[in-house]
A and B are shown apart, each in its own frame.
Chain A
Amino acid sequence: MTEEREALIAAVREFADAELAPNAARWDAEKHFPTDTLRRAGALGLGGVYVREDFGGSGLTRSDAVAMFEELAKGDTAIAAYISIHNMVAWMIDTFGDDVQRERWVPGLTEMTDLGSYCLTEPGAGSDAAAITTSASRDGDDYVINGVKQFVSGAGSSAVYVVMARTGEPGAKGISAIVVPDGTPGLSFGRNEQKMGWNAQPTRQVVFEDVRVPTTNRLGAEGDGFGIAMRGLNGGRLNIAACSLGGAQWALERALGYVRERETFGAPLATNQSIMFTLADMETELQAARALLERAAAKLDEGASDVVPACAMAKRFATDAAFNVANTALQLHGGYGYLHEYGIERVVRDLRVHQILEGTNEIMRLIVGRDLVNRL
C-alpha cells in the first residue's frame, strides 16, 4: 500500500472509530439514520470518493474506495453500505451528467449535505431489472413519471433520486435515467420498512404520481438508462462486498479476542484444535475475498474488458464468505454472540442482505456463467 493510501485509510479508520463504532448498536436499536454524521463523512471526502474533483469529489480510485469501505464497515456496516449507495448515485451524475447537471447536483452530494438514492427495483421487477414498468412520458419539455420503486435506501431523507423509468419500448433499450429532486410534486414515500438488519438506514418505497421534471434532468440519452444503471452497479457491487469484508473482519477480530480469553474444560477455547481450524478457515476466506475484490477494483480502474464478471464474482464470493465468517464468529461466541450487546448478531443481520442486493448472488452466478459459456 502506498504511503498516501495508508494515510487516507487511516483517516477513514479514525472517522469510523470516533463517529460510527460507538453509535452502531444504538442506531440499529433505534432505527436512527445519522444524517449529521453523514455530513461529517462528506467533510472528510467520503461523499464522492471516485467523483471528479472540479465539483467537490475526492478523485480517488476504485481500489482506494474498496479499502475505505472495508474500514468504514468495521465501524458500522449499515452506514458504510448507505455511503456506498450514495457514492454510486454521485458517480452516476458525475459520469453521465452534463456540466449543468453536475454543477447543480454534485457539490451537495459530495458534501453529503444532500443525500442520494438509487431507484431501480420495483415491486414487480427485481432481478429482471429490464422489466420495470415505471413510466416517464414526454409532455413538451417535461417527463411525467408514474410508478413505484421498491427497497430504496435513504428514501424520504434523500435530496436526489436517480430513477430508472421507461421512456420507450419494452426491455432494456426503452429505459432512461432521470434525476428527481426531493420536493417535486407527486413524489411520496412508503413507510420505513421493518427489516432484519440495515436498521440504521431507512428503506422505503418511492411513489411517483404524475411527477413532472424537465427532460434536462435526464442523464445521457433517452434509452441509455439501463446501461447507466448497470455500470453504476459494477462499482456498487465492489463497495457492498467491501462493506461485507469489513463487517466480517471486525467479527473475526472479536471472535479471536473471545476464544483467547474464554476458558472451557480448564483451557482457553483457542487451544482447541477445532477452534483453530475454524479461525484458519475464516481468515483464509476473508483473505481470498479481499484478493478477488482488489483484483476487480483494479480492473474497474483500468477499464478492463472483463470488468463485469470480475465484479460479479468478487461480489458473490465476498458477500457469501463474509456472511459465513460473521455467522461463525457468532457461533464461536456461544450464547453471548446472540446478545445485542456484543454486536456480532447485528453484523450477521446487516451482512445477510448483501447476498441479495446490488444484484442477488444468483444473478452474479448468471453473469459469471454466461460470460464463461459465451467465451468458450
Chain B
Amino acid sequence: MSLENVTIQFGPFRALTDLSFQIERGEILGVAGPNGAGKSTLMNVCTGGLHASRGRVLFNGKDVTGFKRHSRCGLGIAQTFQIPTLLSSVTVGENLLAGQMFGSEARGSAPDIPIQDILYLTQLEDTLNLPASQADLLTRKRIMLGAALATGPEIIFMDEPLGGLNAEEIVEFLQVIRHVREELGITIVMVEHKTRALAEIADRILIINFGEFVMLDRPEVVLNDDHVVEIYLGKKHDA
C-alpha cells in the first residue's frame, strides 16, 4: 500500500499534511509519534474510516482513496482497534464466523485463510463457545485479530494492539503478531506507544509529528536519531 501526498483537513485544522510513504509487502511497520501526531488519523485514512482531503491511497496499484471500510475489507485490508469492542452478545466462534462470512461477502469469494490456521495462531480453539462478553482483554484482542484474519486480508492495521496489556501479555501477543506475519505472510502496520516493544518487532518504524512525516527507517536508526529523541523527550540542554 502506498500513500501519495495525503492531506486530511478538519475545517481549519490539518491532521495530516502531504504525507507520502510506502508500505512494503510482508513487513511489520511500526507507526509512532507523540500524542496528537495524527497516528490514528493515518490508520483511518488507510482503512477507510476517513477519506483523504487531498492525495491518494493506493493498494496493489488500485486507487482506494474513496473506498469505504467494508469495500477495503473486500480488497484485503483489515483492521483491529485500540479498544476491542467485539460482537459481545455472541460467542467467540461467531465473532470469527462474522469475519469469515462478511469478509467473503465483501470480496465476493471465500477468504483463503483456513479457519483452523486462525484458531491455531490466535489460540482460540478452546474458547469458541465462550460468550465474547466474558473474554478477558488479551482474549478480546485475540478475537479481534482472529475476526480480522478470517476476512482473508493481505494487510492488517493494528491500532495500539499492546495497550492495556501487562509485560507478560505483551510478550505473548507480540508472538501472536509475529506468527501472523511469519505463517500467513500478512503485512502488518501497527501504531504503538510502547516504543521498546515496537523496536523489537518492527522491520521499520515511521515517525510522524504534527501530522507531518518525520522519518521512516529501521528501528535502531530511528530510535537513535536526535530529532526523534527530541520529539519525544524535548531538546537536550547544553551545559
Q: Do A and B bind each other?
A: no
Task: List chain A positions with a Cβ less than 8 A from chain B.
Answer: none
Which residues in B have some Cβ–Cβ distance to A below 8 Å? none
